[in-house]
Structure 1
Amino acid sequence: MTKTVSMLAAVAACALVAPAQAQDKVQEKLKVGVIATLSGPPAVLGQQIRNGFQLAVKQLGGKLGGRDVEVLVQDDELKPDIAVGKVKAFVDRDKVDFVVGPVFSNILQAIVKPATDGGAILISPNAGTSNYAGRDCNPNLFVTSYQNDQMHEISGKHAQDSGKKTAFIMAPNYQAGKDSLAGFKRYFKGEILDEVYVPLNQLDYSAELSKIAAAKPEVVFVFLPGGMGVNFVKQYRQAGLADTIPVFSTFTVDESTLPAQQDAALGFFAGSNWAPNLDTPQNKAFVAAYEKEYGAVPATYAFQSYDAALLIDSALKATKGDTKDRDALRAALRKADFVSLRGDFKYNTNNYPIQDFYLTKVAKRADGKYQTEIVEKVFDDYADPYVKDCKMK
């Protein structure tokens, strides 16, 4: 009899252990690899991406979709080969479920294949090249920002609508730079007096400023992110051109560059899908929390990364924390069942957002800090033009 009781006790113990083990397995830590440019002049952009994502995770109690999350962060150094190596390590060594990043489009082009072929879902909180919106669309790539052209189309449309007849346009010589000028020209039908491509991370614009002064365009459009924008704006102001030729831009004057540009950037225009003064309860709370946590005004990089965390959280809630069933996970991500800080947000069939876009202008706040502020809405529920070439439905 004693032997029978012992056997029953052992069976009961096993029965208790099995569900406990299953529960432990479900509660395994979710791993997310964040890759961004965290060194050199553009580091401030990558820091905003990292900070925005980590702030969201902190506010969600260190969990995404109810699962404890481990966030691994790597610096891509703005070098595609370095980025590829670090993403492969995320996927092969760390077994991450998601890769979040990068800042720059040349890095995105390099990491899509190693990330998605390795089994991770890649969420881009900034770069959004035309090829992945169209012919190379990927079911395992989701973008929480925009298609690159769209942000620049805002300036092109506003320049056209405001009656400008001539323009001087300039961008870095890489894919996002080419997309930016294509975006501006999609809506601006006036004469392009000069189309200039400069090396990525160029900091001296004396030659280009001389060209602008000689050409006398009615408007200048530039896409010069990070340190490039800081130097261009200061040099443009010092050259005396800011008082005579207005500058429309994207990522040249934003919350990542304004602390260094300050008064030199006042009155410069930009295009965006968001601004710190966007009047929604969620956005007001986010801006206040970000400023308290990091002592700086957030830029688009930070809010789009914050939204990337909310996207993952919403998808995992729908799958009850499961990441193994990739079809269910992708379907949950496509639903984007969360409240975006920008307001209107839904996914198109290419996994790029349909959203609103605004003309913004640099302003100085009462507390002495600088930010971009919304002037007017330029596009409403706007889908990118490349979706027609995407085979996903």
Structure 2
Amino acid sequence: MKIRAMLAGASLCMFGAMAAQAQTTEPLKIGFLAEMAGMYGAPGQDQYDAFMLAVEERGGKLGGVPVQIIKEDTQFKPDVASQIVDRLLDREKVELFTGITYTHIALAVYKKISDKGAFLVASNTGPALIAGEGCVPNFFTTTWQNDQLSEVVGRYAKEKGYKKVFALAPNYQAGKDFVAGFKKAYSKPLLNEVYTPVAQQDFSAELSMIQAEGPDAVYVFYPGALGVNFVKQYAQAGLKNIPLLNTATTEGINLPAQGESATGAVNGSFWGPDFDNETSKHFVAAFEAKYNRIPSQYAAQGYDSALLIDSALKKVNGDISNKDAFRAALKEADFKSLRGDFKFGNNHFPIQDFHVFEAYKDNKGRMNVRRIATPMVQAQDGFAHLCPMK
């Protein structure tokens, strides 16, 4: 009897150990939400490709633990995004999300994720509400607050002495945020501001307005395919003598399609492929080798989001069930960012430098961007003081 009891006890111990081992090796599920197709899909694809590059470089792991990336296309529709999040939270038991490409999608899901005790590490967009009074403890971003990408261009326009600026953007929240950010830093009345339908592809009417009003610079926010069409039509209309300033329009994903039409256009961002730190140089080389294209700022943000998650998971040994510990690990941001120094403000948005980049043809015959100025140094967004978090 004693021997049988001892054997039975040993078997139970062995079974428990095997079960525990199986549990610890089960991949951590990460929900990746982004636009993946259509005219708004290119930024999301770059976010995803760069994130997966970081995962693959680490052998399918982040923080030393295996990860399962569940990719979902939010289709530019808040209701679709909300349904996806519900399914991943309730059925798949996902507790960590990343990606998010557009402002209205972020606003539809960020609070729902945080309220359920899950985490969102966004790799694009930064609505004013989330940065300010609507901030939540489980939202982090490796990007910027929307206004900042246009504030840096507005400050550049002011320093250049432009007196009459004509502004255009799609008629949705991010478009309005970016124009507002430009105006805040430019600090002069605009010659005109026009908001176009979000699916508009033909800008002939707006280009005729520009010709008639005679600005000394034009500012636009047209991401993805909208930016390709606008820049090509701008050049075809004979307007290249008017400086084209922009946010998210003449950068990595658009430049190959825009071609020399984009030459000389000035874009504002936190990072460019000419950055000289080791993380950035490695990333650019690895991304080009794998995907045969120059990485965009969207790719840079996706890569940094993976590095941030990797650093935080290491600190908690891959166990995110202790929410306070994982949140503290994310806020510590103990990783080498491809933008250089990285730290979070009280609202979990980065405090960082912002630069302006000029589009040009590089020595390999490719359209590329190069940094020409750094108008904003260690800048915190203008909404952080409205966030009650410390």
Residue aligning to 2:214: 216
**In structure 2, what is the equivalent of residue 235 of structure 1?**
233
Could you tell me which amino acid in structure 2 is paired with residue 310 of structure 1? L
Instruction: Tell me the equivalent position of 2:314.
Output: 317
Q: CA deviation at 1:19?
A: 3.3
Q: Which residue of 2 is the match for residue 37 of structure 1?
A: 35
Q: 1:196-245: CA deviations, max 9, x gaps?
A: 111113111111111111111111110011111101100110111112x1
Matching of residues 11-50 of structure 1 within 5 Å: 11-50=9-48
SS in 2 for 1:328: helix
The 5 Å alignment of 1:271-286 reads 271-286=268-283
TM-score w.r.t. the length of structure 1 is 0.97
Measured after TM superposition, the shift of residue 103 of structure 1 is 0.8
Deviation sequence 1:50-76 (CA, Å, 0-9, x none): 101111100111001111100011111
1:138 match:
136
> Could you tell me how far apart the structure 1 residues matched to 2:175 and 2:258 are?
22
SS class of match (2:274): coil
Whether the 8 Å CA contact 1:201–1:227 is kept in 2: the answer is no
Match of 1:300 in 2: 297
Whole-angstrom distance in 2 between the partners of 1:97 and 1:311: 16
| Aligned partner letter, 2:195 | Y
Coordinate RMSD, CA, aligned: 1.2
How far the C-alpha of 1:368 sits from its partner, in A, is: 1.9
Q: In structure 2, give the amino acid aligned to 1:153.
A: E
> C-alpha separation between the residues in 2 aligned to 1:95 and 1:372?
41
Secondary structure of 2:71 counterpart: strand
8 Å CA contact retained: 2:313, 2:319: yes
Aligned residue for 1:350?
347
CA deviation after TM superposition for structure 1 residue 20, in Å: 3.4
CA distance in 2, matches of 1:383, 1:114: 26
Maintained 8 Å contact 1:344/1:356? no
* 3-state secondary structure, aligned to 2:38: coil
Q: Which amino acid aligns with 1:319?
A: V
- Give the match for residue 363 of structure 1: 360
Counterpart for residue 177 of structure 1: 175
Q: Partner letter of residue 26 of structure 1? A: T
Instruction: Kindly indicate whether the alpha-carbon contact (under 8 Å) linking 1:164 and 1:190 is maintained by their aligned counterparts in 2.
Output: no
Q: 1:380 aligns to what? A: 377
Are 1:257 and 2:254 an aligned pair?
yes
Assess if the C-alpha contact under 8 Å between 1:134 and 1:390 holds in 2. yes
Other structure's SS at 2:190 match: strand
Aligned length: 390
For residue 16 of structure 1, report the CA deviation from its aligned partner.
3.3
- Contact kept, 8 Å, 1:92 with 1:118, in 2: the verdict is no
The answer (yes or no) to whether the contact 1:344–1:381 under 8 Å persists in 2 is: no
Higher alpha-carbon deviation: 143-152 or 374-383: 374-383
Within the alignment, does 1:54 sit opposite 2:59 as a pair?
A: no
Answer yes or no: is the 8 Å Cα contact 1:267–1:361 preserved in 2. Answer: yes
Counting aligned pairs with the same residue, the percent is 44
Map Cα deviations across residues 288-340 of structure 1 (whole Å, 9 max, x no partner).
Answer: 11111111111011110111111111111111111101111111100011111
- Gap regions ≥5 residues in structure 2: none
What is the identity, as a one-letter code, of the residue corresponding to 1:12?
A
1:161-200 Cα shifts (integer Å, max 9, x gaps): 1111121111111111111011101111233110111111
Alignment map for 1:1-150 (pairs within 5 Å)? 3-150=1-148
Report if the CA contact (8 A) 2:117-2:323 is conserved: no
**d(CA) in 1 for partners of 2:304 and 2:330?**
12
Cα separation, 2, equivalents of 1:366 and 1:201:
35
Once the two structures are overlaid, the 10-residue window that deviates more, 260-269 or 197-206, is 197-206
Deviates more, 1:158-167 or 1:117-126: 117-126
Partners in 1 of 2:364 and 2:58 — Cα distance? 29
> 1:42 aligns to what SS in structure 2?
helix
Residues 183 and 189, structure 2, Cα contact 8 Å, conserved in 1: no
Report the residue type matching 2:30 in the other structure. V
Distance 1:249 1:269 in 2: 6
Q: Which runs of 5+ in 1 are unaligned?
A: none
Q: Secondary structure at the match of 2:294?
A: coil
CA distance in 2 between partners of 1:199 and 1:229 (Å): 14
- Report the CA distance between 1:122 and its aligned residue: 1.0
CA shift for structure 1 position 282? 1.1
2:147 and 2:277 map into 1 onto residues whose CA distance is: 26
Structure 2 residue identity aligned to 1:338: F
Amino acid at match of 1:119: G
